[in-house]
Amino acid sequence: MTVASEPPVRQSHGLIHFTDGSLAYAGHYLHEHSHPDHTHSFLEIAVMTGGAGVHRSATGRHRLHVGDVVLLRPGVWHGYEQCHALDLYNCCFSTDLLHRELGWTRDDPLLGYLLWTGPYAMDRRGIITATLDVATLHECVRHLDALHRTHAAAAAERHRADIIGHLSLFLGCLARAVSIDQAVPPADIVPLHPAVSHTMHLLETDLARRWTLQELAATLHLTPSYLVRLFRSSTGLPPIAYLSRHRVEAAATMLLHSDATITQIARSVGWPDPNHFARRFRSHYGLSASEYRARFGRTGAGS
């Protein structure tokens, strides 16, 4: 792998992570032949700008073309093969940035789909893909160039607002393109219903709780059937299925960054039954929790 400039990321075993506390980074990567399977502690968006190759993940193998975009939530593993001068413009940004400065994107119709709900819907396993037309590709690259230059500035820590601004412009451009590429009906492009947003916050901030649909509905003073209809119309999933996606993502992070046993991790995300946890984790990542930790983790904890 050849890199146009030294990025603020490092690969340890199969995990790629920021090395300097960066909020966001954009830069070119040139792949030849293959790049091994790996995972990330941040969100990654790869925009193909040249060459050819095949993207490999839990969703299968997919040939890449110029203009293709792949967004991956934290913890998703992937790699590349059959690469011939495969030029990827990668954009990476931390989950802290997503939840703090970019927290408002959850309630934006297009950005909420791109970053929060789309990667989980329709069994996408934390991945969302699209193909950009030429004009949109050039616009996205322009914003990525600006983000790259800002990060490369001598006093990058003084350019926090610029970094967030350039990243927001890129994400907005990409979100509009994804809605067109995936033919999202205009009727579906509406802000989240307050009850859906409230439910998301409840679930994400207390993963270990043994949530039931009836308990959630009672908390929101809604009937269970109405809550499911609201939630499914906004996210493509019922509330408990959405909770499951966040639980496996949180479990993946703990597998990579902690010494806790797999049983302890399963309990901490709300699945005390290890068999149930094992089925859910494998369904999402295509690997067992122990296989995932062995391939990508930096710790040697057992099960």
Q: Where along the chain do its domains lie?
A: 2-181, 194-296
Separation of alpha carbons 267 and 245, rounded Å: 15
- The yes/no answer on whether domain 2-181 falls in CATH 2.60.120.280 is yes
The residues, ordered by sequence, that sit 6+ positions from 177 with a Cβ below 8 Å of its Cβ are: 69, 130, 132, 133, 136, 140
Q: Would you say 90 and 170 are in contact if contact means Cβ atoms under 8 Å apart?
A: no
Question: Residue 23 has what pLDDT?
Answer: 79
| Distance from C-alpha of 168 to C-alpha of 105, rounded to nearest angstrom | 9
Query: What pLDDT is attached to residue 25?
Result: 87
Q: Quote the CA–CA distance of 236 and 192 in Å, as a whole number.
A: 12
Residues contacting 238, CB < 8 A, separation 6+: 213, 228, 231, 232
Topology at the third CATH level for domain 194-296: Arc Repressor Mutant, subunit A (1.10.10)
Whether the domain at 2-181 and the domain at 194-296 fall into the same CATH topology: no
Q: What is the pTM of this model?
A: 0.86
Determine the pLDDT at residue 71.
97
Blockwise average pLDDT, block size 10, the chain, 303 residues: 52 58 84 90 94 95 96 94 96 91 90 90 88 96 93 66 94 93 65 88 92 94 95 88 93 92 95 94 94 79 39
pLDDT of residue 264: 96
Q: Are strands 60-64 and 127-131 parallel, antiparallel or unpaired?
A: unpaired
Query: Residue 208 to residues 125, 203, 205, 240, 276: CA-CA distances in angstroms?
Result: 21, 9, 9, 13, 14
pLDDT at site 57: 94
The per-residue pLDDT for 150 is: 86
